[in-house]
Amino acid sequence: MSLEGHEPCGTPAPGCAQTAEGGCSAPSPSLPRLSERDAARTVGITTTVPSELIFAAGLIPMDLNNLFIGSGVASDLVAEAEACGFPRNSCAWNKGVYATARRLGLRRVAAVVQGDCSNTHAMMEMLRADGVDVVPFSYPYSPDDAEWMQLSLERFARALGASLDEGERWKKRLDEARAATLRIDALCWRDDLASSEEQHLWTLSCSDFLGDPDSFRATADALVSEAEGREPRSPMLRLALLGIPPICEGFFEFLDRHGARVVFNETPRQFAMPKPSDTLAEQYLNYTYPYDVFYRLADIREQIAERRVDGAIHYVQSFCYRHTQDTLIRRALNEPVLTIECDRPAPLDLRTQTRIEAFIEMLQAAR
């Protein structure tokens, strides 16, 4: 959808990478503009949506969060979005996703309009104003609402030109790729054979399977085979990471250097749809992320007990509404919880490093 009368974003400002015509002119080897052909068959996604239906439509999902944070120019992208009009005091994930979509020249983005956040709504309005076609998807408010879920799946399929039956067939195919990443998760928490960073990257990538589920699965299977031959390396401390993925760099490596491992990584694990299901509706009702904190807590408590977690780090993103849930999470858990917050993509800052070190020392002393 192109909105008539929209002016290309903003006046030239430091960090702004747009040309007067609205195209991105910044050199970005890691985010090259898509070819016409690729732009036509790609659907940008800003959080997990039923990717089965995107594949069923003959299209390819592309997770803009992962591209943004892995671009090597994440700070520039945030600055670029601010130069386009995003407020300084708004979520940097949101800004990065917007600038990534623009740089790639995406024509279509799938947006979650219930089950994500209102920042996404405004970002989608910015993209619509840039001429990007926005395909909405709505999770039900309650994970008990199977009727709403079915209706949402039908609407999403129709908007993409996919059939639900074909989507269900894709579910079986994607289940196999997801299962490979859940084996990596088990190698991390149960067998001490995979790192938390490996677990993080593989489960996180289940949002779009890097655009090619078969190759994704084959590479994940190869990692599983290689990791099974490693010597087990048990951590001194077993941590849970709750909340959205941290925007800072070097988080897992820092923990690793201090003898701690994330053995339960709440949100990326959810991207791998860990609870078995027979249908798309069931799968996306089991997926905890879009629903309320109490639904998430049931999964968190169960996994913390099973994975013998010593303490939890709750990551909160600056200017994110989920920050408010921190108090509910702290109240609900018996384990010690450290809350850390970051604003923009950057190496883990010294203050946060010191707080994590103190938390680790406290947990070790309590053992």
Smallest separation (angstroms) from ligand SF4 to the CB of 312: 18
In one-letter notation, the amino acid at residue 16 is C
Residue bearing tokens 């203050």: 351
Q: Quickly count: other Cβ atoms within 10 Å of residue 126's Cβ.
A: 20
Q: Does 322 bind ligand SF4 (CB under 6 A)?
A: yes
Span near ligand SF4 by CB under 6 A; candidates 7-15, 114-122, 181-189, 209-217: 114-122
Q: Does 66 bind ligand SF4 (CB under 6 A)?
A: no
Of the pair 116, 310, the CB lying nearest ligand SF4 is at 116
Span near ligand SF4 by CB under 6 A; candidates 25-33, 132-140, 288-296, 317-325: 317-325
CB-based burial of residue 166 (10 Å sphere; 0-12 exposed, 13-18 middle, 19+ buried)?
middle
User: Can you list the alpha helix ranges (DSSP code H) found in the chain?
Assistant: 36-41, 51-56, 64-69, 74-83, 92-104, 118-129, 146-160, 164-189, 196-204, 213-228, 251-257, 266-271, 280-286, 293-306, 326-332, 350-366
Residue bearing tokens 């089965």: 52
Q: Please work out the total of residues on this chain that contact ligand SF4, with binding judged by CB under 6 A.
A: 11
Q: In what order do the strands lie in the sheet with 42-45?
A: 60-63, 42-45, 108-114, 133-138
Binding track over 83-112 against ligand SF4, x by CB under 6 A: --------x-xx------------------
What token pair was written down for 290?
């879009």
Smallest separation (angstroms) from ligand SF4 to the CB of 248: 13
CB-based burial of residue 161 (10 Å sphere; 0-12 exposed, 13-18 middle, 19+ buried)?
exposed
Of the pair 163, 318, the CB lying nearest ligand SF4 is at 318
**Of 51, 66, 71, 119, which one interacts with ligand SF4 (CB under 6 A)?**
119
Q: Does 320 bind ligand SF4 (CB under 6 A)?
A: yes
Q: Does 317 bind ligand SF4 (CB under 6 A)?
A: yes
- Whole-angstrom distance between the N-terminal and C-terminal Cα of the chain? 58
Of the pair 47, 203, the CB lying nearest ligand SF4 is at 47
Smallest separation (angstroms) from ligand SF4 to the CB of 276: 27
Of the pair 55, 315, the CB lying nearest ligand SF4 is at 315
CB-CB contact of 300 with 288 (8 Å): no
Of the pair 48, 120, the CB lying nearest ligand SF4 is at 120
Q: What are phi and psi of 342, to 5 degrees?
A: -130, 155
Contact partners, residue 179, CB within 8 Å, separation at least 6: none
What token pair was written down for 2?
């192109």
Smallest separation (angstroms) from ligand SF4 to the CB of 321: 6
Of the pair 238, 314, the CB lying nearest ligand SF4 is at 314
Of the pair 211, 245, the CB lying nearest ligand SF4 is at 245
Smallest separation (angstroms) from ligand SF4 to the CB of 346: 16
Question: Which positions lie near ligand SF4, rule CB under 6 A?
Answer: 91, 93-94, 116-117, 119-120, 244, 317, 320, 322
